[in-house]
Structure 1
């Protein structure tokens, strides 16, 4: 019977694994460089992952900001303090922007740990 793993909620703390991922990735990058391959597979993958995570993070931050902007007038008219004014939307947008990078770091850590 296959073992089922619990799905883990990703958080920004996964970014703390970045130095470990770099340490596991450097030998692969060196092997790519030594092999004189025109495009090293690991180097290409690293660049693509970073660009994709940055783009996803940008859209997530924009979505949080747009959501707060759409709530602005209903909040004002109901007597609440809008989140655009008190800075909470900035923290939420920053957290949303970092989440795709943290998820990718975790996936890389899991993938590179299995290679050993």
Structure 2
């Protein structure tokens, strides 16, 4: 069972890392759009507002997800101890779960932005 969890966690971590590696490409595709928007009267165009809103939402979701993951690990502490297993809070599994939970919203947004900007006629 631990090997299955380990493989699934490794796959999830690899997926998140792969999606986050698209961030420089998203920035490269987004910057020309934002620069062209800044030439007008309103320095905060649609793409600029979208970028700011998405980052703020991803940060808030990531913080909440990380906290919820740590709370779940704390709730599992005594059942894990009483069943003879090492508690996930002590062996690093809780930290890994929390980190994955925190990065997942940003990962999804980066991937969605990459797909959107790749198919847009301007980007």
TM range (shorter): 0.7 to 0.9
Q: How many residues are matched? A: 108
TM-score, normalisation: structure 2? 0.82
Q: Deviations over 1:21-71 (max 9, x none)?
A: 001001111111111225311111101000101111111111111111001
Is 1:50 the equivalent of 2:55? yes
Bigger fraction of residues in helix:
2
Partner of residue 78, structure 2: 73
Partner of residue 5, structure 2: none
Is 1:11 the equivalent of 2:11? no
RMSD over equivalenced CA pairs, Å:
1.6
2: distance between equivalents of 1:14 and 1:38?
Answer: 29
Structure 1 residue corresponding to 2:93, chosen from 67, 80, 88: 88
1: distance between equivalents of 2:56 and 2:84?
Answer: 41
Structure 1 residue corresponding to 2:108, chosen from 103, 112, 115: 103
Query: What displacement does 1:14 show?
Result: 0.4
2: distance between equivalents of 1:38 and 1:109?
Answer: 23
Give ranges in structure 1 of 5+ residues lacking alignment.
1-8
